[in-house]
Amino acid sequence: MKWNISKLKDLEHKIWRCTACGTCKVAYDYGPPTKSGEICPAGVEFGFEGFMSAKGKIAFARGILSGELEWDDELLDAIYKCNVCAGCANQCELDHKPYIPEIIEAMRRKAVEDGAGPMPTQKVIAQSMRDYDNPYQGPRRVRTDWTRPFKKAKQPIKDINKESAPMLFYVGCTGAYNLPVRDVPVATASIFQKLGLDFGILGEEEICCGSTLMRIGDAEGFKRAAESNLEKFKWLHENRGVNNIVTSCAGCYRAIKKDYTMCEDNDRMLEGITVIHTAELLNNLYKEGTLKLTGNLPWKVTYHDPCHTGRHLNKFKFDEDGSVAWKDAYLETSEEDCLYDIPRELLKAIPDIEFTEMDRIRANSYCCGGGGGVMTGYGDWATKNASLRIEEGMNTGAEHMVSICPFCHYNLNQGAQRIGSEMKLYDLTELIDRVL
């Protein structure tokens, strides 16, 4: 399959459109009332301008392209100390705005191509993907351990490799292998069974979406995983009647919806298939009356927007021919694909729930700190950053935090433990399952 994955050199004309104005360093909400807050986890932790948002990273990109900067431990460290959360890109209003996450990841791809990257602790991910088709060094047989309660209850989940179903529940590696997060696929499958949905899982045949490899710059490893998945999805559509792929993982959702489109065969391989996040599916079922939230849950909660279901899904409008402003000028951003309203609508629909917002939300949400390979490369920092977000949630007076990402689920709960907070992060599916 042919892929259109940019090299750093391909993005040079975008890189030089950064004026180093520094707007990317702080999240603004023009209100009223006007508010501002920190947006870059690396800037908060390390302070040095080179770590600070797009302004610092773009300077590194220029130096690498010009040859003034050569790979050494310090440069590599600076490039990988970034969550690629796109918070800086959300603030930027210059023509390179839409390309900022891609520029950061392109630097990492060059580091890998040159034999310098990724960071030593992240190389374990690449090796695990080669050995086990997942980043957790987990044998395939462990991938279905989370299904044991369903077998015990004599409600086994359909093996879609053997039986047909219109819907594939693509579990994702974090939900399958990360023990504290297994409640997410359990709650998801429980909801599906309670609603009588016809679905199945790939079980031991499921492999990683490849997102983690893409984030750390291993494009070749990502392509291997993505191509295997695209071929499997096509086969499932043609031989098992799969029309919908549902995932509860923000990373998987972003990878399949966005990263896979860089493959020229993507549309052909996914023809007839809709990729949807669990929150979208449940919201659709709620609106049509199939999902009835009848139980009560007297909790006070706040909501955390994952980066991969939020600003990473922004769509950008350009002046392609220069008829409006100038050629390739950035004109506007559309958030139509971002999952901001849907989870909030579902939360508010739960009887007796009291919902309150944090200061930094939606496109200005503060990253949990675990993405972009940081959880593996810089675990202590990832947990420390998560504790900052937990403190922000605590300041609202909420008892618990809710999100729709297994990665955020794990890291934010680690952050709560770090500071001894009783606040717990729940996945939205866990709350929905409680009131069905």
Tokens 């997942």, residue located: 134
pLDDT of residue 150: 97
Q: What is the pLDDT of residues 263-285, one digit of tens each?
A: 999 999 999 999 999 999 999 99
Rounded Cα–Cα distance for residues 61 and 389 (Å): 29
Q: What is the pLDDT of residues 193-226, one digit of tens each?
A: 999 999 999 999 999 999 999 999 999 999 999 9
Rounded Cα–Cα distance for residues 143 and 125 (Å): 17
Q: Give 261's contacts (C-beta < 8 A, 6+ positions apart).
A: none
pLDDT of residue 151: 96
For 236-242, the CB contacts below 8 A with 24+ separation are: 236/160, 236/168, 237/271, 237/272, 237/273, 240/160, 240/161, 240/163, 240/164, 240/165, 240/200, 241/164, 241/165, 241/166, 242/160, 242/165, 242/166, 242/167, 242/168, 242/273
pLDDT of residue 218: 97
Tokens 């009647």, residue located: 241
pLDDT of residue 37: 85
Say which amino acid occupies 125. I
pTM: 0.96
pLDDT of residue 30: 72
Q: Give 37's contacts (C-beta < 8 A, 6+ positions apart).
A: 26, 27, 359, 360, 364, 366
Strand pairing report for 400-403 and 300-303: parallel
Q: What is the pLDDT of residues 26-77, one digit of tens each?
A: 887 777 777 788 999 999 998 867 677 788 899 999 999 999 999 999 999 9
pLDDT of residue 48: 67
Distance spanning both ends of the chain, measured CA to CA = 44
Q: Quick one: what percent of the chain has pLDDT higher than 70? A: 99
Omega cis (within 30) before 118: yes
Strand pairing report for 167-169 and 158-159: unpaired
Low-confidence ranges of the chain (pLDDT < 70): 48, 50
pLDDT of residue 22: 86
67 conformational bin, left if phi > 0, alpha if psi -120 to 50, beta if neither: left
Domain architecture of the chain: domains with CATH: 1-117 (no CATH), 120-287 (3.40.50)
Rounded Cα–Cα distance for residues 119 and 77 (Å): 7
Q: Give 313's contacts (C-beta < 8 A, 6+ positions apart).
A: 254, 257, 258, 335, 337, 338, 339
